[in-house]
Chains A and B, each alone.
Chain A
Amino acid sequence: MAARGSCPGCGSTALVEDAHYAQQQLVCAACGCVLAEGLLTTTYAEEEHLREVAYSQSTGQKEQLSRCLQRGIRRVQDLCKVLQLPMVFEETAVSYFQRALQHPSFHLVSLEKKELLGGCCIFVTCRQHNWPLTMGTICSLLYVKQELFASVYLSLQKELGLSVPALSLGDLVKTHLNSFRLFQHAANVPAPFVEDKEKMVARTMQIVELASETWLVTGRHPIPIVTAAAFLSWQSLQPAARLTCTFARFCKLAGVDLPPPAHLRLKELLEILLRMASQLAWLRVFNIDKKTVVKHIGDLLQHRIFLLKNAFCLGDEEEQCAMAPGEGSPGSPPAAGGAAQEEGRPSEGKRQHEGGPRPLLPPCLINPRKRLRTAAPSASDSAITGDEPISDSEIEQYLRDPEEIRAFRKAKAWL
């Protein structure tokens, strides 16, 4: 806007008010001479409207980065703020993102993938600092499918050569339980259902550790296990009031999703606990089943080392396992009769006597799914040299006759 007065340098009357950074200046439009600096208006109200300019905006820093990169960085920063991550994480994630985008394999991917890339960088940063962030969380924040996230994540790991430590289950338990809404009295939560957070976290950790020792965790998605363990620990802390509550209802009250595999994990956990209970002297008199074992989880956890040793045969204690003689458990070193190994298939777990210790194995070995075994290459197969003569009749079986071709053509015309 033009102001009054004339320029002392050139005498022109074209004076313009311009802002240099945060400062208002009166500048001559003809020669550029600065007439006055500082606020040219002294109204208090006008002073209030002035805003400070961020460093990144006033310097040329932003112009050096491409718009795509800028947008990506902003997205990464927004995500970090949503997840309430420390500042250090944000900087690390942004630097990973910049490195990744410069990489030829990521430079030209679709915009959707570039946004995913930002999420992957945050995920990697969290993992490297042992911050328990699951892929499910990131995927839901980015509204992407987990398969796409997985492929971008794996290629990011490979291209940048990042070493990502494994997810720590302990931290995951604490973080996941934080989202459970059972620790305070609320309108929809009946009084006996409210639980003390510390106690529940401690017991859930113990159950998850037990699951880890008994092969229920390896190779499986961690969240369903944590959810099932939380349910069991919650029930066991006040069994009288809570035994009637179903798993689904528990998750609804807690405000948490019930992942589909969680039911299976719950079943497996109960089976382990039942086996342990069978070894506890004062429980043998009771008829313990899936429902009643929950009441005794506290005792079972207290003596779990002893019970695990007795309830399951670990590795070299194959004699304790009630197996047919001559068959070793799959985990045992090769017995003297090597023929035993032929029978050492996982299915032998099924032939256990009731109550006898069963080998401590992952569930996939205890209950192997019947798989169609491909026929072993026969002797004739092994004699193939690759250079045999090929008979004409064999090839002709794959070619169509003329009338077949005509019929096919006609059929195609109809389609």
Chain B
Amino acid sequence: FKDDLSTSPQLFTPMSPYDVDLPIQSTEDVLFGSQFNQPKELPADFSSVDLSFLPDITQDSKEQNLSEAGHDMQKEFDGSISSRNEDSSIFMDESSLSYPDATRPSPEASGVCPPLTPMTPMTPVTPASESSGIVPQLQNIVSTVNLACKLDLKNIALHARNAEYNPKRFAAVIMRIREPRTTALIFSSGKMVCTGAKSEEQSRLAARKYARVVQKLGFPAKFLDFKIQNMVGSCDVRFPIRLEGLVLTHQQFSSYEPELFPGLIYRMVKPRIVLLIFVSGKVVLTGAKERSEIYEAFENIYPILKGFKKAS
């Protein structure tokens, strides 16, 4: 397959992007038999490189997802180091790795070595102004899973320490675990909603832990149809934004009602993401089913917001 392999060299520290002591790297080698080439030339100041990720997948759908890697968006690199070290950590699922084109195609590069491109881009092809260099950080993932058995909620609330059940208020057990720090709503039909995770893998791990708790309580719980339903990300563009101007020029997408809410609600069509844009420059992106949608949406909105930077 023609997937491009790349990984963020900034997994752990921005200044040593080529730290090879990553457990993930070895797995990648094993899985894909590729060589990790240390790129020859690399820009001295290296920004957070991020990959667009595909949705969380189970082992069976690994192949299907990898083939979708071609759809991923391309990420640009600019010269300035972003302070968002936290965003650079990639939550890689062993079984699902997505490999977008790491470079704005230097076509010779892809042509020369077909199945893989170097780990990092050769040089930032376009100037800094074209890419934001800011990576939205995921704040919340909501997922659902089917435990496929009827549950006795009263029983669960009695035997589990971390459960609360108030049938008059809500018809589900609210269960929490400490690691990963998440909350689950467990319904008597056997369906479960898991919220609060910061990555797709964490959400899946948390959901499995909840299922295990239910299993230990004596129910024949399974783990079917795990699906990420919503992802929320946030970031900061670092300059104030004239929301009144933005609502004038993008009226068909924006809704700005200062009487109701201090932020501007921007409904992007492609990808279908809702962005909350605030005067301080902070942006919240929500409604995504895949991580790539959040990144793509932010890359779409960033040039629009930059247009309002100097309008004061």
Contacts and interface: CB of A to CB of B under 8 A. Distances in A.
A399 B312 contact: no
Interface stretch (A67-75, A295-303, A340-348): A340-348
Interface pairs A-B: 8 shortest CB-CB: A376-B86, A338-B80, A386-B204, A386-B201, A382-B89, A219-B262, A342-B83, A219-B279
17 contacts: A150-B257, A154-B255, A219-B258, A315-B309, A316-B310, A342-B83, A362-B279, A365-B240, A377-B199, A378-B89, A381-B199, A384-B91, A385-B93, A386-B204, A387-B204, A390-B208, A395-B213
A311 B257 CA distance: 30
Given A315-B312, A377-B199, A390-B212, A383 B23 contact: yes
B24 A383 contact: yes
A137 to B, nearest CB: 10
Interface string B191-216: 00000001111111100110011001
- Indicate the size class of the contact surface on chain B: 35 or more
A388 to B, nearest CB: 6
Given A385-B92, A387-B59, 5 more contacts: A341-B81, A379-B89, A387-B93, A387-B205, A405-B159
B47 to A, nearest CB: 8
B100 interface: no
A331 B309 contact: yes
A361 interface: yes
Interface string A206-223: 000000110101111111
A410 to B, nearest CB: 12
A362 B280 contact: yes
Nearest to A398: B162
Nearest to A383: B23
Interface of B: 11-12, 23-24, 45, 56, 59, 79-83, 85-86, 89-95, 128, 139, 158-162, 177, 179-180, 198-205, 208-209, 212-213, 216-217, 238-244, 247-248, 251-252, 255-263, 278-281, 309-310, 312
B57 to A, nearest CB: 10
Contacts of A146: 259-260
Interface in A385-408: 385-388, 390, 392, 394-400, 404-405, 408
Given A330-B239, A386-B205, A399 B259 contact: no
A249 B82 CA distance: 51
Interface in A139-179: 146, 150, 153-154, 157, 163-167
